[in-house]
Every structure is written in structure tokens, then in C-alpha cells.
Amino acid sequence: MAHILDGRALAERIREKIKTRVAALPSKPGLAVLLVGDDSASHLYVSLKRQACEESGIAFKLFLYTTTTSENELVEKIQDLNQRDDIHGILVQLPLPTQNADHVIAAIDPRKDVDGFHPENLKRLREGKPAIASAVALGVMKLLDEAKAHGNACIVSSSLFAAPLQILLKEQVIDSVVVQAESQELAQSVRAADILIVAEGIPGLITGPMVKPGATVIDVGTTRTDEGLRGDVDFESVEKIAGAITPVPGGVGPMTVAMLLVNILKAYSLLSPPLSSQPL
């Protein structure tokens, strides 16, 4: 049976360290979140982020918008937040109902892009320059480190999601391939992987017979079903084959929130030159 990677416990340790760091800062870091529409899952995720910030001593500002809000209105608010000294991180909760997310996110000052989605941050990451990386990708990497995972990796996801992960994996001398759920190469690519990272939003996409024995399996997918939250990995069958596996819930989700807090502190340091040399 696979070792269960407890994302909640690891995230709690990180959050305690963040709380200590925030308490020692000369001013309070601030996060602004733009939430558009009434999607229940998005509202839940934002409430979890609010709770994490408040418990860590980080100021949290929420800006709510209707589903039909124009992209220009969102961009104008972001441009205003870019100028505010009390706001160190800006996050647009995704997915957006109809607005162009790329257009909206591109308006964020890259130094305040705590989700790590701004193209400038991805570019700087590729070039090995100081940058804010995707909180999800950082959470995945922490879990892989916890599992002492090594070998080659397969990322089952969109190329957009995979891009920062591939860069971070390469830094750890881990080669990776990216494959989509509909690819004819899916089964072959998955079976060959020592490390499998899945983020497609398709419950039960990966089953036990598809997985290499002893592989480390990171399930990023989270879908609400009549049976509750389900991941992209069929946990029951894969647990018997894998060497380590993340549960859903309780795996990548808590780690993403914890690494968001890390990114807020990094943004604070980027915007506060005297503190920029402090390790996160």
C-alpha cells in the first residue's frame, strides 16, 4: 500500500512558520482578492484563503463582482491595487465566468502576482531570475520533496498548468513530459513515469493498472460529485500500486493555500527592498 502524503499536516507546519515571520515584520502584508460571479466552489476557495490569511496575520481585502462585470472594470481595479502600498499580493479567483483571464491577469504588477500566473513571472522563472512561481506548482514540489521522489515525471494537464511545474522539476534534475487526457499516448506516458502529476478535472481518470509500481502520484484534480470531492486519480485502485499518493481532499489543496501565503511574503519582500535578502 502506498504512503499517504498528508498535505494538511505539511501545510500546517508551513503556516505556523509564516505566522511567526509575519509577526516579526515592520508592517502587515496585504492580499487583495477579486472574486467574480457566484460559483460556489470559487467562494469556498476564497473563504479558505481568507481564513489562512487572517490566522497568519495577513490583511485580507475581498472585492466582489457580478458575473457580467466587464474586463475593463476588473483591470481598472487591479491597476488601482497595483499602486496601493498596503496591498502586496493581488489574486483573481479563477475560473472567471466569461472574462478573458489572460487579459485580466496581465494587468497585475508581476511583483504582486501571488498566484504566479503572470507571463512575466513565467519568463523570469525560465531564465532563473527572482520570480513568483505558481502556488499550486510550489505545493506539488513540496509534496514531492516530502516523498523523496526521484526519476522521470509525467504531467497530465494543460500545457499552461504544466509550464511552471516543468521548470521547477528541471531545477531538481527531473525530466518531465506533458500529456493531455485525450491523448493516445496517455496510458503509455503514465505507465513509464516514476512521478505522476494529474490535473485534468476528470474524476477517476487514472486507475491502478495505468500506474508504474512504486510511483509517486500527485492528484491535483478536485471535482464535486454526488459522492463528494473526487480527484483525477482513482485512489482505491492506485493506492495499491503506487509508492506514495496524495488524497483528495487533504493533499494538494491545503498545500496550495500554504504556498500562497509563502508567495505573499515573497511579494512583500520584493516590494520592500530592505527585506529582500531575507529567505522565505
Do both 140 and 248 map to the same domain?
A: yes
pLDDT confidence band for 279 (50 / 70 / 90): very low
In a domain, 277, yes or no: no
Report CA 6 to chain centroid distance, whole Å.
16
CATH number of domain containing 103 = 3.40.50.10860
pLDDT of residue 224: 83
In a domain, 41, yes or no: yes
Which H helix or E strand runs over 218?
Answer: strand 216-219
Is the N-terminal amide bond of 249 cis, ω within 30° of 0?
yes
How many domains is the chain built from?
2
Task: For helices 252-270 and 40-56, give the axis angle rounded to 10 degrees.
Answer: 60
In a domain, 100, yes or no: yes
Structural domain range at position 36? 28-115
In a domain, 147, yes or no: yes
Q: Residue 280 above 50 pLDDT? A: no
Q: How far is 7 from 218, CA to CA, in rounded Å?
A: 11
Residues acting as catalytic residues: 49, 93, 115
- The residue from 115, 148, 168 where one domain ends is 115
Span 103-126, average pLDDT = 95
Q: Determine contact, residues 189/209, Cβ cutoff 8 Å.
A: no
Model pLDDT for residues 173-222, shown as the tens digit of each residue:
999 999 999 999 999 999 999 999 999 999 999 999 999 999 999 999 98
- As given in the structure block, the three cell numbers for residue 20 are 511567526
Its pTM stands at: 0.92
Q: How far is 223 from 182, CA to CA, in rounded Å?
A: 18
